[in-house]
């Protein structure tokens, strides 16, 4: 079932009753109800929203990712449930005991698919892409010679029709890209939790201050979806600021259709398939992470 994403940018009160999220507008008094089982994500942007602890607990128990924004209206933290699987301890043990060769092989798969998706998007945009196919073919176990970085330099040089420098905290259009990546990261973290894995324990990313290393690993091949969405937004909107309309467009990424070999599904569902396949890799039941084609 496709879950809903709720975005709250105005002063509201959020509480629960009978497994419903009760949304009360502080200014108008208008009350709405949404079944909690239908919700996948809640984005809380307004600094004037009241949400009760029981409500946060109920959302967490239903694997709803609650994303909190800072005073600059950018997502800054997230609430996830820590006990999502009936054999949690076994899954954690498999993940913790994963060998270094396995992790390096999985990272190789991830980078090859990421570069392949970057090449596919450049091809769709009728831009030079064949050098990325060459880089993909040369990715080693663990990507020890950093083909990812070499491919990224070429990709960012060619993706836009204007001079561009990719910056984590840069202005337009980096601001759009960063918002989209944060939403994608939250969605991946939710899928990881739902598959009974530890998001903190990464395959490649390692940072004692980062609670979402595995999410940062798994999301890499999905990043070009954000890039494509941002380019569509640039063509559609003259705004150079991150407006509410543009945020709404970026949130639509979660329902975008992607394509598996014999089926298609919304991104939110596809992420769960990917993280479930990773869980199977840790358990030794398969050696390949399942990723969809981003475009048909």
Per-residue DSSP letters for 37-57?
Answer: GGEEEEEE--TT-EE-HHHHH
Per-residue pLDDT, averaged over 229-249, amounts to: 93
Q: Assign 86 a pLDDT band (cuts: 50, 70, 90).
A: low
Q: What value does the mean pLDDT of the chain take?
A: 92
Q: Does the 4-79 domain belong in CATH 3.100.10.20?
A: yes
Non-local CB neighbours of 206 within 8 Å, separated by 6+ positions: 213
List, in order, residues 6 or more apart from 184 with CB less than 8 Å away. Answer: 219, 222, 223, 225, 226, 253
CATH 3.100.10.20 residue ranges of the chain are 4-79
Domain 88-282 has CATH 1.20.120.920: yes
Q: Which two tokens stand for residue 229?
A: 């969405």
Report the share of the chain in percent with pLDDT over 90: 73
Question: Looking at residues 150-159, what average pLDDT do you find?
Answer: 96
**Is the pLDDT higher at 92 or at 119?**
119
Cα–Cα distance for residue pair 176/159, rounded to 1 Å: 15
- Mean pLDDT across 129-157: 96
- Chain region(s) in the chain for CATH 1.20.120.920: 88-282
Any idea how long the chain is? 296
Encoding tokens for residue 148? Answer: 């990812």
pLDDT for residue 182 is more than 90: yes
CA distance 176 to 193: 26
Question: Which segments of 190-259 are extended strands (E)?
Answer: 257-259
Closest alpha carbon to 55 in 10, 23, 29, 9? 23
| Residue 84, pLDDT score | 60
Phi, psi of 89 (to 5 degrees): -60, -40
- What are the structure tokens assigned to 28, written together? 């108008």
pLDDT band at 74 (very low <50, low <70, confident <90, very high): confident
The count of C-alpha atoms lying within 13 angstroms of the C-alpha of 281, restricted to the half-sphere facing its C-beta, is: 23
Burial of 139 (0-12, 13-18, 19+ CB in 10 A): buried
Mean pLDDT of 196-204: 90
Write the CA distances from 63 to 20, 58, 275, integer angstroms.
15, 9, 15
pLDDT at res. 209: 62
Task: Indicate whether 85 pLDDT > 60.
Answer: no
The answer, yes or no, to whether residue 111 has pLDDT greater than 80, is yes
Average pLDDT over residues 160-173: 88
Task: Give CA–CA dist 130/157, Å, rounded.
Answer: 14
pLDDT at 246 over 80: yes
- The alpha carbon of 133 is separated from its chain's Cα centroid by a whole number of angstroms, namely 24
Closest CA to 161 of 235, 216, 256, 71: 235
Q: What pLDDT score was predicted for residue 73?
A: 85
């Amino acid at each position: 079932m496709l879950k809903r994403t709720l975005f709250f940018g105005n002063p509201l009160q959020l509480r629960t009753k009978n497994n419903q999220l009760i949304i009360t507008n502080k200014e108008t008094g208008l009350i709405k109800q949404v079944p909690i089982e239908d919700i996948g994500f809640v984005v809380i942007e307004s600094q004037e929203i009241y949400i009760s602890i029981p409500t946060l607990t109920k959302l967490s128990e239903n694997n709803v990712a609650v994303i909190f924004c800072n005073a600059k209206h950018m997502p800054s933290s997230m609430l996830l449930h820590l006990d999502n699987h009936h054999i949690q301890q076994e899954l954690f043990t498999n993940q913790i005991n994963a060998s270094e060769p396995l992790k390096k092989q999985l990272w190789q798969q991830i980078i090859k698919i990421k570069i392949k998706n970057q090449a596919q998007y450049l091809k769709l945009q009728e831009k030079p892409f064949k050098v990325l196919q060459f880089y993909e073919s040369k990715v080693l176990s663990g990507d020890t010679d950093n083909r990812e970085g070499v491919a990224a330099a070429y990709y960012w040089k060619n993706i836009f029709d204007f001079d561009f420098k990719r910056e984590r905290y840069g202005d337009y259009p980096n601001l759009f890209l960063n918002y989209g990546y944060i939403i994608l990261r939250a969605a991946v973290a939710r899928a990881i939790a739902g598959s009974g894995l530890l998001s903190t324990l990464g395959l490649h990313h390692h940072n004692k201050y980062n609670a979402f290393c595995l999410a940062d690993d798994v999301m890499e091949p999905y990043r070009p979806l954000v890039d494509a969405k941002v380019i569509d937004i640039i063509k559609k909107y003259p705004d150079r600021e991150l407006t509410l309309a543009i945020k709404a467009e970026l949130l639509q990424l979660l329902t975008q259709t992607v394509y598996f070999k014999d089926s298609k599904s919304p991104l939110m569902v596809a992420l769960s398939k990917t993280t479930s396949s990773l869980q199977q890799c840790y358990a030794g039941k398969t050696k390949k992470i399942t990723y969809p084609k981003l475009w048909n």
